[in-house]
Amino acid sequence: MTERQGAYYTGNYRNLFAECGYEPQEVDNRLAEAWEALFGENEETRIYYPMGETQGYLLDTGNLDVRSEGMSYGMMMAVQYGRKDIFDRIWNWTYSFMFMKEGVNKGYFAWSCKPDGTRLSNGPAPDGEEYFALALLFASHRWGDGEAPYDYGKQARDLLRTCIHQGEDGTGYPMWNPDNKLIKFVPEVEFSDPSYHLPHFYELFALWAYPEDRSFWEEAASASRDYIQLASHPETGLTPEYAYYDGTPNDTRGYGHFFSDAYRVAANIGLDWEWFRKDERQRSLANRIQSFFADKRPEDYRRYRINGEPFEEKALHPVGLLASNAAASLAADGPHAEDNARLLWETSVRTGDRRYYDNCLYLFAMLALSGRYRIWFPSEE
């Protein structure tokens, strides 16, 4: 047993910023500032843009497209901040332009569109789907359901059903391998992305998906916790962007190393520990990751082999890496946990063309370390 149960059981969320000595009003102000930076009108920091009277989108400012990743992130941010107005605008845009109603990917969301809604791809990316599903469930629980497409709970359960049953009629592919219960990089391939693994999400899907699907999600949570350990280097804790089902790096197109996608693993284990505390191995993993970066400064972050060997190539998203390492402090019990939380506090949101991914991870880390990244339960619970 751990020294205390996770927030799912207790309702108590750890505020690391308070533990570092920052005052409650200071923390509230920083959270408000972070929201305003991303969703306000400052052209140097914003990533959210309203469209017409009822829609809005998050722009990948480095690639000038709208991604299911970012849209699902925006919905999760909005439900955590209690901004139903922004949530509905993002969801309306997503459902109008990204949702695929026919073809092999029917029921999924196109991963990339132009800001005007024109699709750049008819393929989905599973990290978007899993965030869409939980954000919709939280919205259903926090605000209640409306008429389609604002019947959030049904939309989430239908999406989760599609994710694991697509292809059973011979058309398309599921997003999770039905045998090992591991999420795929994209539906048509048989390898994974360690940063896609969100066992804390699957624990909640096991409660709120359609009854016939709940056992699958329970198994998926356990399988993903094991997989994250397999994919993590035993000394550095680093994971590759792509990995085979046995956890070994898949260097297809150079993605077998620690780079942008992989940053999210640290934040994921931090939040899983905070919510559920089911896997003691996460503490050691968080400690290893933070120890690896303890003698490195953000301005010199690199692409790394998972054994820690650096490339000359600098990190594309140093603020995102810093933020995710800070979020790992929720699980870490080593000597660097508080230092990482303070480093995040002392860091501002990123400006410039590459700010989108960094600032998404930044805001999630600010929510997590302030105890504001919360599970929203059905009202009857």
Same domain? 206 vs 164: no
Q: What is the pTM of this model?
A: 0.97
Same domain? 107 vs 13: no
Pick the closest to residue 321 from 243, 231, 259, 233 (CA basis). 259
DSSP 303: E
Give the CATH number for residue 323.
Answer: 1.50.10.10
Q: List all residues 6 or more positions away from 25 whose beta carbon is below 8 Å from its beta carbon.
A: none
Same domain? 99 vs 187: no
Same domain? 22 vs 37: yes
pLDDT at 4: 60
One-letter amino acid of 325: N
CA 372 to chain centre: 15
CA 19 to chain centre: 25
List phi, psi (to 5°) of 329.
-65, -20
List phi, psi (to 5°) of 145.
-95, 150
CA 344 to chain centre: 18
pLDDT at 379: 85
Same domain? 115 vs 191: no
Same domain? 323 vs 192: yes
Domain boundary among the residues 141, 175, 209 is at 175
Domain boundary among the residues 114, 144, 175 is at 175
Cα separation values, 326 from 134, 197, 244, 280, 343, Å: 23, 19, 27, 19, 8
Same domain? 210 vs 80: no
* Average pLDDT, 10 consecutive residues per value, the chain (381 residues): 77 98 98 98 98 98 98 99 98 98 97 98 98 99 98 98 96 97 98 98 98 98 98 98 98 95 98 98 98 97 98 98 98 98 98 98 98 93 57
Annotated catalytic sites, by residue? 69, 261
- Give the count of domains, the chain: 2
Same domain? 164 vs 186: no
- Domain for residue 320, yes or no? yes
Same domain? 243 vs 315: yes
Contact 20, 26 (CB under 8 A): no
- Domain for residue 381, yes or no? no
Q: List all residues 6 or more positions away from 349 whose beta carbon is below 8 Å from its beta carbon.
A: 34, 37, 38, 45, 319, 355, 358, 359, 362, 363
Residue 137 CA to residue 132 CA, distance in Å, equals 9
Alpha helices in the chain (DSSP H): 7-10, 16-19, 24-39, 68-81, 84-97, 126-143, 152-165, 199-208, 214-231, 264-275, 281-293, 318-327, 337-345, 355-369
Q: List all residues 6 or more positions away from 171 whose beta carbon is below 8 Å from its beta carbon.
A: 104, 106
- Domain for residue 68, yes or no? yes
Tokens of 128: 């978007």
Exposed, middle or buried by CB within 10 Å (0-12, 13-18, 19+), for 69? buried
Domain boundary among the residues 175, 202, 236 is at 175
Same domain? 198 vs 111: no
Same domain? 42 vs 52: no
pLDDT at 1: 37
Contact 152, 139 (CB under 8 A): yes
How many residues does this entry show for the chain? 381
Q: Is 147 helix (H, G, I), strand (E, B) or coil?
A: coil
Residue 22 CA to residue 30 CA, distance in Å, equals 11
DSSP 378: P
Q: Cα-atom radius of gyration of the chain, to the nearest Å?
A: 19
Same domain? 194 vs 163: no
Q: List all residues 6 or more positions away from 274 whose beta carbon is below 8 Å from its beta carbon.
A: 6, 7, 13, 14, 330, 331, 368, 373
Residue 131 CA to residue 188 CA, distance in Å, equals 20
Where in the sequence is the domain holding 126, given as residue range(s)? 48-175
